[in-house]
Amino acid sequence: MTQTGPVQQLDAIRRDLLAKHDRQGLSWRKIAKRHYPGVPAGTLCAIAKGREPKKISVRLALGLPALADAPVCPDCGQVHVAGVCTARKPPTANGVVPVTVWAHGVKSGAVVRARSRRCARRRCGVHFVPAHGERYCSDACRDRARAWRRKQKRTKLVRGRKRMKR
């Protein structure tokens, strides 16, 4: 697809659309038919309300560049290819990641020299320092994991049963 007119800014198009719709009293269909052929009326309405068009054909018909700028992370101001901000990772010293310890008798800010592990419940992302043999970060996580396993076992039994004839 080739661009047919000068490159415009989206805010200028919004101002033009709002002027034609609000001040001149034209409907979105008339605006689309007369001034922006090839662009649906609903899309023009959405653009006027603040949406940025994603389709390349619509962008080119409006005189916008074919590719939109990549979104910038609000935290660090960088463009992330993976979609995750890497600047917010906690600082590490010699490969040791700081972990919050939830235990009785441990003072706030104390350094605990022990290996941490991730909670065994799939949806829990907590890293914790376990006592001997602990798999879950809390009793609530352990109970949720057990309930989920019971539910899975019940659904497997129901699915596997044959219907009895009457």
pLDDT per residue over 94-106, tens digit each? 556 565 566 656 6
Residues 57 and 105 in one domain: no
Q: What is the DSSP letter of 110?
A: -
CA distance 30 to 20: 10
Q: Is residue 91 part of a domain?
A: no
Residues 101 and 57 in one domain: no
Q: Is residue 77 part of a domain?
A: no
Q: Is the pTM of this model over 0.85?
A: no
- The closest alpha carbon to 62, from 74, 53, 72, belongs to 53
pLDDT tens readout for residues 24-66: 888 999 998 888 888 999 999 999 888 888 888 888 888 887 7
> Percent of the chain, pLDDT > 70?
63
Q: Is residue 160 part of a domain?
A: yes
Structure-token match 């899309």, residue found:
43
Q: Is residue 68 part of a domain?
A: no
Residues 47 and 107 in one domain: no
Domain count, the chain: 2
Q: Is residue 146 part of a domain?
A: yes
Containing domain of residue 165, as a range?
A: 96-166
Task: Kindly tell me if the per-residue pLDDT of 3 is higher than 50.
Answer: no
> Percent of the chain, pLDDT > 90?
10
